[in-house]
Structure 1
């Protein structure tokens, strides 16, 4: 679970004897989907990856087959385990661009071999948790509405999606394996194929009503407006004769605004005020917002593709599909204890050197990124928490999923309203301390001086 260039880099490090204690920052340069924030997730997966990282005999044989590595290097890889330190912004916390979500300090070869796995773990989960929080926010305008995660059939990493979507506020998952593994509520309705199997829609509805004490009927297989009349007839009869309850109806296509308004009117006329209307079908946060602003009578949503893929919006020219997390070297201590700030100079992609801390104003007026030895600003609270020390998990640092979800909803409620909007004009203020800015200037000068000396030698 590395890219090819990670063992290649480790080999060069091994051959030249360069394996000092190195600090890397994992962060993103911008918030996804045109929003302001990131909802952090995937820290537990990152820790599990770091703790379990090792090479098997078969994997080492494969490496020896594809690269002419020295056998002594492969012997080192056979014994390699992560022995370093991980600090992280806890899952369920709010983060902003440029803030290190993970701070990794370890011998260079350990830190570089973990790069891609850590990026994948944190990047995907944070992308999906953030997407879910936006969808739930759009759905809850006016009054609470539940969002069910229906992403399994379209998600590249369905278990990760289900877990992250739950952190982001989704009420349930359609994926039974995720419900089992993470103890999540499992929900589902029925497919069009079940309705089509019966000679008539009424017979299909009756079969469903007879099978379950509480059931949902799918209305748009043929004609939603005709189907609701059949559903009401079946629902009233099943309640009278069997005591079974029509809990909800679902629409997956058509004119969701006009059709849901019509369906609501018919249900209310029949006295079925408690029957919920569920909408699904290629929905995302922007479409949900538009439906509700147009007056659609929808009580809950099922969202699949856009959530499972972390999609942006082609119509709105908003990127999606990846968080764009990066993993950049920031500090190096060589074998004799000399410390060096590390920096990449590349315009907007230039990095910030040094071992960092992040502090947040108690009223969300700003975050400050500063060097770890600089004093904490008065009344600000620290965001990075220790997760691993000496390669071991810090006790109590990985809370259960239920607590992560609770923390996420608490933090999202604290986030000022204008930063929760689907599209923001002004980003949340993240300030770099004077000490950090000074170190960056120093690091740039050091790099320029070194390169100048190298060119003279050449």
Structure 2
């Protein structure tokens, strides 16, 4: 099973299993739409602009379209809704209305900007169908597209920031979990970034990327002290011996294509132990990874020590809260590192939460607005919103979206 299919199945059994993943007003206002069943409506899905965002990359339709196909008002949801009462002690909603919804499909048509497209504030999709359907699905759709846009945009930022010169890898699965973790790995893989997510690697026939973790290193150090009860952890030489023991254990199990984590101890001790272990074992295609402290300064220090020890072939990986802006600065400063592991950056809004230089937020503020309604006789009505707040008011004129294409391809631009 492909990762995309796995995510789709997850959504079908989770977020899209029932039409209840939305706000209560969708149910209460729907009760007043039963006399408009012959009407077709259009909702415009729009990416809002705040003036601080840059470009975005569209992603998410590959999961949404197949997952939403079987969305229904399921029995458990209808049974729950029938138990709701108002302040008069009466049923909140008419039983006949709710029973008509039971098992009712949500037939809609979606015309959208394809995944992988560069996007800016403006229209993303047009959702057309019966009134009871189009207004119900936007919450579930918006949730997944927000996640997809966030991840894909960050991958694009990272590749740009690295100048295409670094080995970047997604290491976010433990932090993301569930469907977001799969989406991150799947989108990274689709955009050419390796991932440590084994489900993604297995499904796509790619090699997973990964190094070692603090948990493993800590456990092996404990094992060393258990084997040598007279060893004194307050003694620097003993601490280095314990780390050498841990590193050698990993190298023996992984004689090629590995990386040694340096920051379980102070960097000087971790690096000294790694150098000893690397000199003793001579593994193939290895690196060392620093996950804390001043990563730029430490990269220079590590490179100097490795070269002095005759280990010029050992490469340097950096990790630890890295964002695109950090990668850009490290490259601009000429820091001697080969690649980076990216983890928490793929969490929603993490680009603005980490310490350090400012990075513009990824724009994922999506709203779905009523666009038009077509009566049973075929007459179309357009709608505008008049508001005292200019940002919320509809703008006059047609809403245009320009999609840039390959200049060498036929049809250099298309307008929706």
**For 2:28, what is the secondary structure of its paired residue?**
helix
Rounded to whole Å, the distance in 2 between the matches of 1:296 and 1:318 is 20
Gap change, CA 1:65 and 1:319, over 3 Å in 2: farther
Q: CA deviation at 1:206?
A: 0.8
The answer to whether the Cα contact below 8 Å between 1:126 and 1:164 also exists between their aligned partners in 2 is: no
Rounded to whole Å, the distance in 1 between the matches of 2:166 and 2:79 is 54
Answering whether residue 341 of structure 2 is matched by residue 302 of structure 1, we say yes
Rounded to whole Å, the distance in 1 between the matches of 2:151 and 2:349 is 6
Instruction: Choose the corresponding residue for 2:154, options 125, 131, 142.
Output: 131
Answering whether residue 285 of structure 2 is matched by residue 285 of structure 1, we say no
User: Which segments of 5 or more consecutive residues in structure 1 lack a partner in the other structure?
Assistant: 365-377, 385-458
Q: Which residue of 2 aligns with 1:21?
A: 40
190-199 or 205-214, which deviates more:
190-199
Q: Which residue of 1 aligns with 2:401?
A: 358
Q: Which residue of 2 aligns with 1:40?
A: 58
The answer to whether the Cα contact below 8 Å between 2:54 and 2:360 also exists between their aligned partners in 1 is: no
Answering whether residue 147 of structure 2 is matched by residue 115 of structure 1, we say no
Q: Which residue of 2 aligns with 1:348?
A: 391
Q: CA deviation at 1:113?
A: 1.1
Q: CA deviation at 1:285?
A: 1.3
Q: CA deviation at 1:126?
A: 0.7
Q: Which residue of 1 aligns with 2:13?
A: none
Q: Which residue of 2 aligns with 1:103?
A: 126
The correspondence of residues 32-181 of structure 1 with structure 2, limited to 5 A, is 34-66=52-84, 68-98=92-122, 100-138=123-161, 140-141=162-163, 144-155=165-176, 157-172=180-195, 174-180=196-202
Gap change, CA 1:108 and 1:187, over 3 Å in 2: same
User: Which segments of 5 or more consecutive residues in structure 2 lack a partner in the other structure?
Assistant: 1-20, 86-91, 225-241
Q: Which residue of 1 aligns with 2:11?
A: none
For residues 125-169 of structure 1, what are the alpha-carbon distances to aligned partners after superposition, in whole Å with 9 as ceiling and x for unaligned? 11221122112221x23x511221222333373222333344455
Rounded to whole Å, the distance in 1 between the matches of 2:72 and 2:97 is 14
The correspondence of residues 221-232 of structure 1 with structure 2, limited to 5 A, is 221-232=264-275
Gap change, CA 1:361 and 1:250, over 3 Å in 2: closer
The answer to whether the Cα contact below 8 Å between 1:45 and 1:122 also exists between their aligned partners in 2 is: no
Q: Which residue of 2 aligns with 1:194?
A: 216
Q: CA deviation at 1:231?
A: 1.9
258-267 or 317-326, which deviates more:
317-326
**For 1:312, what is the secondary structure of its paired residue?**
helix
For residues 65-99 of structure 1, what are the alpha-carbon distances to aligned partners after superposition, in whole Å with 9 as ceiling and x for unaligned? 2363223322322242232321111111111111x
Instruction: Choose the corresponding residue for 1:333, options 369, 374, 378.
Output: 374
Instruction: Choose the corresponding residue for 1:206, options 229, 248, 251.
Output: 248
Gap change, CA 1:227 and 1:165, over 3 Å in 2: same
**For 1:351, what is the secondary structure of its paired residue?**
coil
Gap change, CA 1:320 and 1:342, over 3 Å in 2: same
**For 2:102, what is the secondary structure of its paired residue?**
helix
What TM-score do you get using the length of structure 1 for normalisation? 0.71
Q: CA deviation at 1:5?
A: 1.8
Answering whether residue 30 of structure 2 is matched by residue 10 of structure 1, we say yes
The answer to whether the Cα contact below 8 Å between 1:19 and 1:109 also exists between their aligned partners in 2 is: no
**For 2:276, what is the secondary structure of its paired residue?**
helix
Q: Which residue of 2 aligns with 1:382?
A: 414
Q: CA deviation at 1:106?
A: 0.7
Rounded to whole Å, the distance in 2 between the matches of 1:248 and 1:354 is 58
The answer to whether the Cα contact below 8 Å between 2:45 and 2:124 also exists between their aligned partners in 1 is: yes
Q: CA deviation at 1:28?
A: 0.9
Gap change, CA 1:69 and 1:22, over 3 Å in 2: same
Rounded to whole Å, the distance in 2 between the matches of 1:355 and 1:47 is 27
Rounded to whole Å, the distance in 1 between the matches of 2:396 and 2:75 is 37
What TM-score do you get using the length of structure 2 for normalisation? 0.78
User: Using CA pairs below 8 Å that are at least 6 residues apart, which structure has the higher relative contact order?
Assistant: 1
For residues 222-262 of structure 1, what are the alpha-carbon distances to aligned partners after superposition, in whole Å with 9 as ceiling and x for unaligned? 132333333233223223xxxx3251110001221222112
**For 1:113, what is the secondary structure of its paired residue?**
coil
The answer to whether the Cα contact below 8 Å between 1:39 and 1:129 also exists between their aligned partners in 2 is: yes
- Paired residues, number: 361
